[in-house]
Structure 1
Amino acid sequence: MAAETTNNGALEKDIGPVPQHSNGSGSPMHPQMSAEEHQVARAAARFGYGPLAQVNTAEARLPPFGGEFQPGLYKPVEGRKFGNPAPLGLCAFALTTFVLSAINMGARDLTAPNIVVGLAFGYGGLVQLLAGMWEMAVGNTFGATALSSYGGFWLAFAIVLTPGGFEIEKELGGAGPDFYNSMGLFLLGWFIFTTIMLFCTLKSTVAFFLLFFFLDLTFLLLGIAYIQRDPSGMPNTKVQKAGGLFGLLAAFAAWYNALAGIADTSNSFFIFPVIHFPWSPTGRTRRAKTDREEA
């Protein structure tokens, strides 16, 4: 039963290689199983036999997976009494980013982003921050850092835009050079932070990497749009729209990772592919298996 509990969630999310571990007698685990093989092996493990029956639950590592917001090999959380917080944080980020990015692209001729204030406070801010704190509780340092930070970003962004609240824009002389330059520096600072996060996803999955790659370009382009303004002194519209486009891509990438984290055999007829990089631990294991088969 311990083997089933340990491997169930991971292999339902990503039918990929099972980490090779010894059962104490030097007998290695099978490196890869299909979905059907996994189901059979899991049932057999209940009776103490089969490839999943000998997993060392104290040492087993699951493959990187954006649905768990884990960019590297990680331990399963045994006996966890609460759900995976990553999809909640991803959805909170995605919806708030989607609305702001649509406005940055001029959807429905909208120009003022004030409608985002409510989302930024309630969903992208508070809910995402809470999801980040739950990531801390399950021992996911990357997830806690990223989700909590972007929750803080949305709270800070909402504070800046709150009409008549903190009067930040008014104190900077209204919608003018000082405010635009300040906003540009604010966004470029988040570009630097996102770049750091991006480096940590290089050994994970393509879907996970693309989320941070698109977001990184979003912050960069929006920061440039505010600092390198057009001749009228307004934020550069073309660059701002380009930033909005990458923001939309980041939002959909976040939703995709969230969906991959929510969908399993209990609620979906199929598992959403996340595609591992060939140099990732999973990619290397698959390549080694293929090389052995060809030999």
Structure 2
Amino acid sequence: MVDDEVIVVPAANPAALGLVAFGLTTVLLSLVNAGVLPAGGEPVVIPLALAFGGLMQIFAGAFEFRLGNTFGMTAFFSYGAFWWWFAFLLLFAHNHWIDISQAGPTVGVALLLWGVLTLYLWISTFRLPKILFLIFLTLWVTFGLLGLGAIQANPALSHAGGWLGLVCGSLAIYGSFAIVTNSVFGRALVPVGERPVLGA
């Protein structure tokens, strides 16, 4: 008796979706933070943060969970939630559902805490492709600059955070581009800085 042949279909890489959702939203907000786009354009980021930056990263995190990728699950769920937090904060404040006029440095401290989370995730990227190392490096520094800029009411720091966030978001878009392109062509056409497997 011959067993039926089992055909294994490889799963798609959800990081492609998660990275472009994060990157595109980060680039738009960073252009506002850097002063390239007007501050009045910040509300335009809200629906993008909810529908793409937030929701698509939540989806990506769920798929990473199914693949058993602890790092990808933690990162995509976390930054998906970040975009929802950011969008809801703006929505609630602008519609006077919450009052943050007396919040003082609280928003800045929240950004610093996101930087702490990113810093601890960055440590794991020492074993991951170099593109992820660069994304998380620029991201935790970006959070640091934006957090300190908000705490100190220092536009120069916030603008610097915007410019570095622009680099971070662009790197994330590149990472997504590499994953999709390499998958379609079936070879490493776009480099991501793969690290050698230890013992290989």
The interval holding the TM-score normalised by the smaller chain is: 0.7 to 0.9
Change (3 A) 1:204 1:179: same
One-letter amino acid of the counterpart of residue 180, structure 2: I
Mapped to 1, the partners of 2:183 and 2:17 lie a distance apart of 19
- The root-mean-square deviation of aligned C-alpha atoms, in Å, is 2.2
Mapped to 1, the partners of 2:161 and 2:78 lie a distance apart of 20
**The structure with more helix, counted as a fraction of residues:** 2
User: 1:135, CA displacement in angstroms?
Assistant: 0.7
What secondary structure sits across from 2:146 in the alignment?
Answer: helix
**1:261 aligned partner:** 179
User: 1:276, CA displacement in angstroms?
Assistant: 4.2
What secondary structure sits across from 1:271 in the alignment?
Answer: coil
Query: Alpha-carbon deviations, 1:161-220, whole Å to 9, x = none?
Result: 01654633xx222xxxx3341110110110000001000001222211000000011100
Residue 209 (structure 1) aligned with residue 137 (structure 2): no
**2:86 aligned partner:** 157
Change (3 A) 1:166 1:80: farther
Change (3 A) 1:207 1:95: same
What secondary structure sits across from 2:189 in the alignment?
Answer: coil
User: 1:275, CA displacement in angstroms?
Assistant: 2.3
Residue 116 (structure 1) aligned with residue 32 (structure 2): no
Mapped to 2, the partners of 1:228 and 1:87 lie a distance apart of 36
Is there any run of 5+ residues in structure 2 with no aligned partner, and where?
1-6
**1:288 aligned partner:** none
Mapped to 2, the partners of 1:240 and 1:216 lie a distance apart of 14
One-letter amino acid of the counterpart of residue 247, structure 1: G
Contact 1:159 1:165 in 2 (8 A): no
Residue 272 (structure 1) aligned with residue 169 (structure 2): no
Residue 97 (structure 1) aligned with residue 26 (structure 2): yes
Residue 167 (structure 1) aligned with residue 89 (structure 2): no
One-letter amino acid of the counterpart of residue 281, structure 1: V
Residue 188 (structure 1) aligned with residue 112 (structure 2): yes
- How many residues end up aligned between the 2 structures? 192
Is there any run of 5+ residues in structure 1 with no aligned partner, and where?
1-77, 230-235, 286-295
Mapped to 2, the partners of 1:103 and 1:268 lie a distance apart of 37
Change (3 A) 1:80 1:156: farther
What secondary structure sits across from 2:43 in the alignment?
Answer: coil
| Pair member with larger Rg | 1
Mapped to 2, the partners of 1:251 and 1:80 lie a distance apart of 31
Mapped to 2, the partners of 1:184 and 1:154 lie a distance apart of 16
Residue 197 (structure 1) aligned with residue 121 (structure 2): yes
Mapped to 2, the partners of 1:120 and 1:138 lie a distance apart of 25
Give TM-score scaled by structure 1 length.
0.60
Change (3 A) 1:268 1:102: farther
What secondary structure sits across from 1:264 in the alignment?
Answer: helix
Change (3 A) 1:256 1:184: same
Could you tell me the percent identity over the aligned residues? 36
Mapped to 2, the partners of 1:259 and 1:246 lie a distance apart of 20
Residue 226 (structure 1) aligned with residue 150 (structure 2): yes
Mapped to 2, the partners of 1:88 and 1:276 lie a distance apart of 19
Mapped to 2, the partners of 1:156 and 1:165 lie a distance apart of 15
Mapped to 1, the partners of 2:182 and 2:123 lie a distance apart of 28
Residue 281 (structure 1) aligned with residue 159 (structure 2): no
Show structure 1 runs of 4+ deviating over 6 A. none
Q: Which has the higher contact order (CA 8 A, sep 6+)?
A: 2
One-letter amino acid of the counterpart of residue 191, structure 1: G
Give TM-score scaled by structure 2 length.
0.87
Mapped to 2, the partners of 1:138 and 1:269 lie a distance apart of 21
Change (3 A) 1:244 1:190: same
Change (3 A) 1:265 1:130: closer
* 1:60-99 mapped onto 2 (5 Å cutoff): 79-80=8-9, 82-99=11-28
